[in-house]
Amino acid sequence: MALHDLPARQLTRLKSGHRIHIGVALVCVATAVAYVVLKLLGPHGDPTDPTSGDLEAYYYPVLEYGFGELRHFRLPFWNPHEGCGTPFLAIPQVGFFYPLYLPFLFLDAASAITLDICLHLAIASFSMFLLCRHFGMRPGPALVAGLVYAHHGGMAIKVYFPNHLAPSAWIPVVFLLADRVLERRSPIACALLGAVLGAAMLGGSPQFVYFTGLALVPFVAVRAVSAPRRDGAGTVAIASALLGAAVALGVLLALVRVLPAAEYMRGTWRPPGSLALEGAAVMSISPAVFAANLLSPAPGPDLGRQAYAGTLPLLLAVVGLALWRPRSAALPIAAAGVAAMLYAFGTHAPLFPLMFGMPAGSWFRAPSRALVVFGFAVALLAGGGLHEVLERAGTGRAARPALLLAGAAASLIGAAAWLRVPEARLLAVNCVAGGVVLLVLLLRPAVRVLAVGVLGVLVVVDLFHGQRPRGVLPAELGAHFARYEPFFGEVRQRQGFARTYIRGRFAPDARLYFHSDLAKAGTIHGIWLATDYEPLCETRFARYLQFPGPPVPWSICYLPLDVSRQPSPLVELMGVRFFMVEDGDGPPPDAGGRWKLVRREGGVSLYEDPGAMPRAFVAADVEVIPDAEALLRRMADANLRRVAFVEETAGETLPAGVGGDAEVERYEANRVAVETRAAHGGLLVLTDRWDAGWKAFVDGTPARVYRTDYLFRGVSVPPGVHTVEFVYRPASFVVGAFGSLLGVVGVVLLCLRPRRTTCRRSRIDASMNAH
């Protein structure tokens, strides 16, 4: 139907609705920008604060490198700068195909991260506004609900974690579209729901998709119960099929990320389902800590502040829980919020251990992250409570919300005094100020617009005050990142293909503080780093670094090494030529002339080992040791320049001789060409990590890539001069990309289907036309 065919009254409503949406969107953007400017940017942050440690040490370098490669039309399948090589696109922490990361292609990562935070906070608030409007709330209460959701404590802590922030921002949209599928059985709603689920999986941690799915269960179940009474029993089956199709579409769309990440995770120290209950329960919060932070408006940066959703939103949420309709939305979402709270208690309550035993329950750590669902429930119910106040203002029904508000305020003030929470007096002030505004609103409905505006400001000020982020965004760290550039410049000038090791320390006051840009100095500063910071480290690499000690239950792909007179053969094999250490961690006096001091400045020294092993060489002899641990023990005292160790030969006879020379002719992230010269042949050893996606060609002929020396790559070369080319072609990415393409086609086909007007929609339109 064209706009000119609509009745004048409907057309006026449509234009007015558009103006309201534009105005609300501007408010959401302005509030998000204000939060970033006032709370995240500026001189108050500390580069060594652990709050933003992962953003500085992990997310920023990864995003900078990955999108730098994409900017030059190179898919960064492999990153050779970190940890002797990493399957870069497969790491599960960052999704490079998330559509809203498009600004990273045009901006530097530091600026794009700041923009990304603003964008997702605005999406969170505006999407909650849309969800509330979908349930029939007035625009003012819906906007307040959106601001509460975007800026409550459970969301505020996620600004330093891009893969947490992205899926959290989409939770209201998932609920909105799921309800539209239930209500209208619309293929377009199904397609959009699949697209949003796919985007959440492409850009975010699967833990938050898991939380969203669990929160949807009671909501969908309760909302589906009312469908047969309204539109007939067959509608439940249709709606269920469409919801299943939306989930399938979402998974298909995300396959380009999900399949490589799943393959990578199977080889890490923490494959899915391997966590013990105690390990999964880390970063939970006790009921006492939760209660104190729920009530106290005192600012703080710790995990407990995730519980804070503001004082006025709590008061209004009580009204919403008691009075707001539809009850089929209020009650299941409230139940999801309570469940998220109990889950966040970890082993302090029975729910988390119970969920741990369910499918995917043992995949994730940090139960307190579920408090974003608690904040979602509080925000929605707060909007519903304010809506009920406005609906009953100036009528004989105003007494009930007034009594509920008074009772809730008295309970909050009493509980805060009993628990002796910080700034309990401020909580009382907030209750009184909000109560006065709400009382005026109930008695004088004519000033409702002004009163709702004042309430919104009070809520925002309270939420801003209640958070005290002490971290720093990368946009503020230009000089900090450049502090050791003279050292990295020396390395880049001399390194060739040799690797560097930085002996970081974990004390924040250390000169080489590990949890900083030094953790991924290879990626961000353009050097070849032997070890690295990877929270989900591959098991083999972790064991290699830890040997000869016993295996440890977890690793971040980093282990402190010393500049010794005779380093371990395993360290030498990595081709470490440069050691960057704090003064006092240098080579011992008996190291002789092995280590050459290259630079010393500001308590930091750079040493060079001119005799470091090359990145590529031809080993003379090959030994086959099927047992990996036995192979490592044998390597510990072997001449690894002469002999190489493999775990199996697949029936092929590997050559033996006097070895030979190898020279890297071409080195790109996904392609390496090496020229070998060996009179009797041998095994070419390239000390880059082995991965199933690497293929080899000897003079253009396919050749087997052996897992060599436990961690690296080896290719058998015949006598003479030959060119060996390694090409990275991960099958999981190819299959995943094809699946994502199918998902896109599915979304488009569903959106192009002719629109069908459901019975309920027809009844609504008929009613509007009758009036």
* Domain range list for the chain: 17-46+92-471, 475-608, 616-625+641-731
List, in order, residues 6 or more apart from 453 with CB less than 8 Å away: 140
The reported pTM is 0.93
In this structure, what DSSP letter does residue 93 have? Answer: T
What's the pLDDT tens digit per position in 579-603? 999 988 888 766 667 889 999 999 9
pLDDT at 765 over 50: no
**DSSP three-state, residue 256:** helix
What's the pLDDT tens digit per position in 90-131? 999 999 999 999 999 999 999 999 999 999 999 999 999 999
| DSSP per-residue letters across 346-407 | GGGSSHHHHHHTSTTTTS---GGGGHHHHHHHHHHHHHHHHHHHHHHTTSTT-HHHHHHHHH
Closest CA to 297 of 288, 286, 307: 307
What's the pLDDT tens digit per position in 690-715? 999 999 999 999 999 999 999 999 99
Low-confidence winner among 45-49, 340-344, 402-406, 462-466 (lowest mean pLDDT)? 45-49
Closest CA to 104 of 62, 160, 165: 62
Count Cβ atoms within 10 A of the Cβ of residue 369 and give its class: 0-12 exposed, 13-18 middle, 19 or more buried: buried
What's the pLDDT tens digit per position in 531-546? 989 999 999 999 998 8
CA distance 215 to 339: 9
- Find the helix packing angle between 171-184 and 162-169, rounded to 10°: 30
Beta-bridged to residue 578, according to DSSP, are: 500, 608
Evaluate the CA torsion angle 421, 423, 429, 434 in order and state its sign. negative
Exposure b/e, 352-368, CB count within 10 A at least 16 = b: beebbeeeebbbbbbbb
CA distance 445 to 425: 30
- In this structure, are strands 712-717 and 694-698 parallel, antiparallel, or unpaired? unpaired
Count Cβ atoms within 10 A of the Cβ of residue 198 and give its class: 0-12 exposed, 13-18 middle, 19 or more buried: buried
Q: What are the strands, taking DSSP E only, across 528-589? A: 576-582
Report CA 661 to chain centroid distance, whole Å: 44
Can you give the pLDDT at residue 559? 80
Can you give the pLDDT at residue 558? 87
List, in order, residues 6 or more apart from 599 with CB less than 8 Å away: 486, 487, 490, 605, 606
Task: Give 763's pLDDT tier (boundaries 50, 70, 90).
Answer: very low
Low-confidence winner among 385-399, 554-568, 618-632, 746-760 (lowest mean pLDDT)? 746-760
pLDDT at 758 over 50: no
- In this structure, are strands 576-582 and 499-502 parallel, antiparallel, or unpaired? parallel
Helix or strand (DSSP H, E) at 622: strand 621-624
Question: 49 versus 322: which is more confidently predicted?
Answer: 322
Question: 231 versus 537: which is more confidently predicted?
Answer: 537
pLDDT at 767 over 50: no
Mean pLDDT value across residues 146-166: 96
CA distance 190 to 122: 24
Which strands, in side-by-side order, build the sheet including 499-502?
499-502, 576-582, 604-608, 596-601
751: left (phi over 0), alpha (psi -120 to 50) or beta: alpha
Cα torsion 188, 189, 190, 195 to 10°: value is 90
Can you give the pLDDT at residue 115? 98
Mean pLDDT value across residues 758-771: 40
Closest CA to 675 of 689, 687, 686: 686
First to last CA, the chain: 19
Can you give the pLDDT at residue 585? 83
**DSSP three-state, residue 540:** helix
Can you give the pLDDT at residue 319? 96
Can you give the pLDDT at residue 326? 93
Give whole-number Cα distances, 551 to 84, 268, 279, 412, 629, in Å.
20, 13, 17, 50, 10
Q: How many CB atoms lie within 10 A of CB 589?
A: 7
Beta-bridged to residue 727, according to DSSP, are: 671, 695
At position 357, the amino acid (one-letter code) is G
Question: And the tokens for 41?
Answer: 């940017």
What's the pLDDT tens digit per position in 256-313? 999 999 999 999 999 998 999 999 999 999 999 999 999 999 987 778 899 999 999 9
Can you give the pLDDT at residue 769? 39
Q: Which fold has domain 616-625+641-731?
A: Immunoglobulin-like (2.60.40)
**Residue whose entry in the numeric block shows the structure tokens 């009528």:** 395
CA distance 297 to 172: 25
Can you give the pLDDT at residue 700? 95
CA distance 177 to 171: 10
CA distance 698 to 722: 7
Question: And the tokens for 97?
Answer: 């195909």
pLDDT at 764 over 70: no
Q: Is the peptide bond before 326 cis (omega within 30 degrees of 0)?
A: yes
List, in order, residues 6 or more apart from 155 with CB less than 8 Å away: 121, 124, 149, 165, 168, 372, 375
At position 74, the amino acid (one-letter code) is R
Task: Give 484's pLDDT tier (boundaries 50, 70, 90).
Answer: very high
- DSSP H stretches of helix in 420-520: 424-443, 448-465, 478-481, 485-494
Mean pLDDT of the residues in the chain: 90
Q: Is the peptide bond before 272 cis (omega within 30 degrees of 0)?
A: no
Compute and round to an integer the Cα radius of gyration of the chain: 30
